[in-house]
Amino acid sequence: MRKIVFVGVGDVQLLRGIVSDLLLSEDLRGGLEIVLNDSDAGQLATAEALVRSLDAEAGSRAEIVAVPERRRALAGAEFVVSHLDVGGFDATLRDFEIPHRYGLRQTIGDTIGIGGIFRGLRTLPVFVELGLEMAELCPEAWLLNTSDPMTMAGYAIQQATGFDRFAGVCHAVCDTHAHLADLVDRGLDEVDFVSAGLNHQSFVLEFSSGGRSLYPELDLALDADPELGRHVRVEMYRRFGYFPTQSSEHSAEYVPWFMRHTGETSRLGVPVEEYLRRAGKNLHVYEETRRALSAGRPLLMRWQHQEPAAAAMLAVLTGRPKEVYVNVRNAGLIGNLPQDACVEVPALVDAGGIRPQAVGELPVQLVALNRAFLNVVELTVAAVLTGDRRHVYHSAMVDPNTAATLPLPAIESLCDELIDAHGDLIPEGIRRGAR
Q: So what's the pLDDT on residue 256? A: 98
Same domain, 311 and 337: no
Same domain, 332 and 305: no
| 164 located within any domain | yes
| 80 located within any domain | yes
For residues 138-146, give the mean pLDDT: 98
- Bridge partners of 82? 7, 145
Q: What is the mean pLDDT of the chain?
A: 97
Q: So what's the pLDDT on residue 433? A: 82
Q: So what's the pLDDT on residue 305? A: 73
The 10s digit of each residue's pLDDT in 297-319 is: 999 998 767 899 999 999 999 99
The 10s digit of each residue's pLDDT in 414-433 is: 999 999 999 999 999 999 98
What's the longest Cα–Cα distance across the chain? 60
Measured distance CA(329)–CA(260) in Å, rounded: 33
Q: So what's the pLDDT on residue 234? A: 97
Q: Percent of the chain beyond pLDDT 90?
A: 98
Q: Within 10 A of 147 (CB to CB), how many other CB atoms are there?
A: 23
Same domain, 300 and 350: no
Same domain, 310 and 330: no
Measured distance CA(55)–CA(61) in Å, rounded: 6
Q: What is the extent of the structural domain holding 32?
A: 2-88+107-170+296-318
The tally of domains found in the chain comes to 2
Same domain, 303 and 346: no
Q: So what's the pLDDT on residue 304? A: 65
- Bridge partners of 324? 347
| 312 located within any domain | yes
Same domain, 311 and 336: no
CA dist list (Å): 199 to 102, 171, 429: 28, 10, 28
Same domain, 59 and 73: yes
For residues 312-332, give the mean pLDDT: 97
Nearest to 131 by CA among 66, 82, 68: 82
CA dist list (Å): 201 to 139, 151, 196, 267, 316: 30, 10, 8, 22, 27
Q: So what's the pLDDT on residue 192? A: 98
CA dist list (Å): 271 to 74, 106, 112, 176, 233: 39, 9, 17, 19, 14
Please indicate, yes or no, whether the overall pTM of this predicted structure exceeds 0.75.
yes
| 222 located within any domain | no
Would you place residue 162 in the very low, low, confident or very high pLDDT band (cuts 50, 70, 90)?
Answer: confident
| 153 located within any domain | yes
Same domain, 52 and 69: yes
Measured distance CA(89)–CA(204) in Å, rounded: 33
User: Cβ distance 173 to 330 under 8 Å?
Assistant: no
Angle between helices 364-386 and 150-161 (to 10 degrees): 60
Residue 384 pLDDT > 70, yes or no? yes
The 10s digit of each residue's pLDDT in 237-284 is: 999 999 999 999 999 999 999 999 999 999 999 999 999 999 999 999
Say how many CA atoms lie within 13 Å of 378 toward its Cβ. Answer: 11
Say how many CA atoms lie within 13 Å of 46 toward its Cβ. Answer: 22
| 26 located within any domain | yes
The amino acid present at 39, given as its one-letter code, is S
In the listed set 337, 356, 375, which residue is the last one of a domain according to the structure?
356
User: Cβ distance 192 to 208 under 8 Å?
Assistant: yes
The amino acid present at 263, given as its one-letter code, is G
User: Cβ distance 80 to 138 under 8 Å?
Assistant: yes
Is cis: bond before 149, omega within 30 of 0? yes
Say how many CA atoms lie within 13 Å of 180 toward its Cβ. Answer: 36
Tell me which of 83, 100, 171, 179 is the catalytic residue: 171
| 305 located within any domain | yes
The 10s digit of each residue's pLDDT in 82-136 is: 999 999 999 999 999 999 999 999 999 999 999 999 999 999 999 999 999 999 9
| 428 located within any domain | no
Q: What Rg, from alpha-carbon coordinates, does the chain have? A: 21
For 9, list phi and psi in degrees, rounded to 5. Answer: -125, 25
Residue 171 among the catalytic residues: yes
Residue 299's contacts (CB-CB under 8 Å, 6 or more residues apart) are 16, 50, 53, 54, 57, 289, 292, 293
H-type alpha helices, 106-191 = 113-137, 150-161, 172-183
As to burial, measured by CB atoms within 10 angstroms (0-12 exposed, 13-18 middle, 19+ buried), residue 199 is: buried
The CATH number of the domain where 65 resides is what? 3.40.50.720
Same domain, 59 and 21: yes
Same domain, 314 and 351: no
Same domain, 13 and 57: yes
Q: So what's the pLDDT on residue 435? A: 74
The 10s digit of each residue's pLDDT in 50-68 is: 999 999 999 999 999 999 9
Residue 172 pLDDT > 80, yes or no? yes
Same domain, 312 and 328: no
